[in-house]
Amino acid sequence: MRAVRYAEHGGPEVLSVEEVDRPKPGHGDLLVRVEAAGVNPVDTYFREGEYPVPELPWTPGSDAAGVVETVGPGVEGFEVGDRVFATGLGNWNQGTCAEYVRVPSDHAAVLPVGCSFEEGAALGLVGVTAWQALVHHAELEPAESVLIHSGSGGVGHVAVQLAAATGAEVTTTASPPYHDTLRALGADTVLDYTRADLAEAITAAGAPDVILDTFANEYAELDFEVAAERGRVVAIGNTGPTAPVPMGPGKFKDLRFQVMSMFNTPDTGAVLARLGTLLAAGRVVPEVARTYPLAETPDAHRAVLEESFLGKLVVIPGE
């Protein structure tokens, strides 16, 4: 089969398409023919060596959607021919930018009829991240106010939809070209993140009970300043080695500050199944900004960090 691999850490130029053996599913595994693979910033961190991988050469990619080719021993709830989507791969398990991938069955869920492979691959990592942040950690309640930084990002635009689906009042930040789309996705208030009076504008929209912050190294002090009393701040992504915990602005509010990683989700498959229900209902639908053939995976790795777009990038291994 064809797979994208890197034999050393470095920039996108270390990625190449190679012929490798098809993986063999073990106990509890599925062998999935990959129809679409999501591209995320975290994939580049593994490639660069910022985050460790077990061995080299390595195949990048956390997300996949495709068709079950083989069901390993001990697997229940899946059959050959099932359409599935999966996430949480590419760190301890060879990744998804390949024609086939071995998927632990507890990291997969059935992709509902009518949902595309591209949508499934785009939803996995960002959807589970948004779910863990808003539902699991922050325990977002209907009619609460939520602030989502960087609403045009992969996690952000899904989090806007998920928060809106719970009945929350959603404020988000983004560049002006994306404001109308984010309102269409469910945001009640969209603010330019560069404005000088950002804190005042957020507070005017309603002091947030929950804040999802993808850049806590930049916005933690602002978060603590604008959060409502007993608010919950959840930090995801690359928060930096010196992300501050600003006690001053928040010490009289009894705030809760949570740092999280999607890879620590205890039951990824169950969360994916819930997201699949929302996807089928049209409540949480990822935006696919662009697709790439397998050979152009290096271009996708460059674009996911360097270019401005709303939504997700997806690799199509069959192209």
User: Do 101 and 211 share a domain, yes or no?
Assistant: no
**Residue 309's CATH number:** 3.90.180.10
Cβ atoms 158, 152 nearer than 8 A: no
Mean pLDDT value of segment 93-101: 97
Q: Check: CB of residue 126 under 8 Å from CB of residue 134.
A: no
Q: How far apart are CA 126 and CA 111, in angstroms?
A: 16
Q: Within 10 Å of residue 23's Cβ, how many Cβ atoms?
A: 20
With 60 as the cut, is the pLDDT of residue 239 above it? no
Nearest residue to 34 (alpha-carbon basis) of 89, 131, 100, 87:
100
Domain interval for residue 37: 2-111+287-316
Q: Are 81 and 67 in contact (CB under 8 A)?
A: yes
Q: Is 44 in the same domain as 163?
A: no
Does a structural domain hold residue 118? no
Least confident of 70-74, 231-235, 243-247, 300-304: 243-247
163 and 138 housed in the same domain: yes
Q: Which residues contact 80 (CB under 8 A, 6 or more apart)?
A: 68, 69, 70, 71
Q: Are residues 10 and 41 in the same domain?
A: yes
User: What's 144's domain CATH number?
Assistant: 3.40.50.720
Instruction: Quick: pLDDT tens for 155-196.
Output: 999 999 999 999 999 999 999 999 999 999 999 999 999 999
Give me the pLDDT at residue 219, please.
Answer: 87
User: Are 136 and 187 members of one domain?
Assistant: yes
Whether residue 47 contacts residue 21, with contact meaning beta carbons closer than 8 Å, is answered with no
- End-to-end C-alpha distance for the chain, whole angstroms: 13
Are both 59 and 143 inside the same structural domain?
no
Give per-residue pLDDT as tens, 32-84: 999 999 999 999 999 999 999 999 999 999 999 999 999 999 999 999 999 99
Task: Give CA–CA dist 72/19, Å, rounded.
Answer: 23
Average pLDDT score over residue span 219-238: 90
Round to whole Å and give the CA distance between 252 and 207.
Answer: 15
pTM of the model: 0.95
